[in-house]
Chain A
């Protein structure tokens, strides 16, 4: 009986989902100017054309984030303060309501000739 119980417990553990990660939904896009880059993050300042209201969004860059300069692959270190940037990102909301933005794709202007 003890063995059966052990098997049942192992089976129940195995049935549990492998990852209870924060939920990511739709992708968002922000177009703006790089205000700051620091270890694994980029701050993007954007301005609403209609209201003129400025917003600054801090977005995490992880190992899966693709960085493109024009049509060429780049790396996060290539992102420079003050340049134009387009970031496609997802937002995950923790239980405490805290939102985390994670970049899926970063696009930078192609180098000028």
Chain B
């Protein structure tokens, strides 16, 4: 047997063993979304995402000024569309965020803030396959403006003030049940409601917590 053939066989055997190990691991763990991806998977996925974004898109600069009006628009849009998974503060610590696979990143950290404006824009507009991130863009100028405003707002996430978070809470979408609960909480805290009641199990928009 030639040396080259032996090398090929060894490589094949190692790859097969690796594939079997991964398959066994995947089957033994089931399809639960509770756990976080491994380090290698995260590293590979992030680099593949980086490579999958066209160089031209990566290099795009934000055409909007980071004015108060643009940031306010980004804040409102984020509270309405993004906070349900990412949380108002971008931490991803929401009922949906905690239980997605992969979990949304803490957007206040380098893994997100280190992306270029063009990369953030591309991800919001086109989404990320095999994750919970949808494609929000529709190719219109209006959509692009909203997305660029979001890019400015994402850069501000680490410095959000209490007032801004309170404003976002008021803008988070709520179901009729959540509005009723909010009213019940308001009445209880203001003393209008005579007595405390034990809380119930809720299935509601977790974005409003952040």
Contact = CB atoms under 8 A, between A and B. Distances in A.
Given A15-B22, A48-B197, A84-B188, 14 more contacts: A8-B14, A8-B18, A14-B38, A17-B37, A18-B36, A18-B38, A24-B98, A25-B95, A27-B209, A28-B199, A73-B166, A86-B185, A107-B185, A109-B190
Interface in B178-194: 181, 184-185, 188-191
A71 B166 contact: yes
6 contacts: A8-B18, A14-B39, A28-B200, A49-B195, A90-B98, A110-B190
A72 B166 contact: yes
A27 B202 contact: yes
B91 A86 contact: no
A18 B39 contact: yes
A30 B198 contact: yes
Nearest to A72: B162
For the complex of A and B, list the 10 residue pairs with the smallest distance between their C-beta atoms, beginning with the closest.
A73-B162, A14-B40, A29-B199, A32-B196, A17-B35, A30-B199, A15-B38, A109-B189, A46-B196, A46-B198
Contacts, number: 117
A63 to B, nearest CB: 11
Nearest to B34: A23
Contacts of B17: 8
A113 interface: no
A105 B22 CA distance: 39
B12 to A, nearest CB: 12
Q: How large is the interface on A (under 10, 10 to 19, 20 to 34, 35 or more residues)?
A: 35 or more
A46 B188 contact: no
Given A47-B197, A84-B188, A104-B93, A16 B10 contact: no
Given A55-B198, A64-B93, A104-B93, A31 B188 contact: yes
Given A18-B37, A47-B197, A104-B93, A66 B210 contact: yes
Contact of A66 (B22, B39, B184, B209): B209
A55 B199 CA distance: 11
Contact of A4 (B14, B25, B34): B14
A16 B198 contact: no
A18 B210 CA distance: 25
Nearest to A70: B189
Contacts of A68: 166
Nearest to A74: B162
A3 B38 CA distance: 22
Interface in A42-85: 45-49, 55, 64, 66, 68, 71-73, 84
B199 A12 contact: no
A88 interface: yes
A99 to B, nearest CB: 14
Contacts of B202: 26-29
Given A66-B209, A105-B209, A15 B197 contact: no
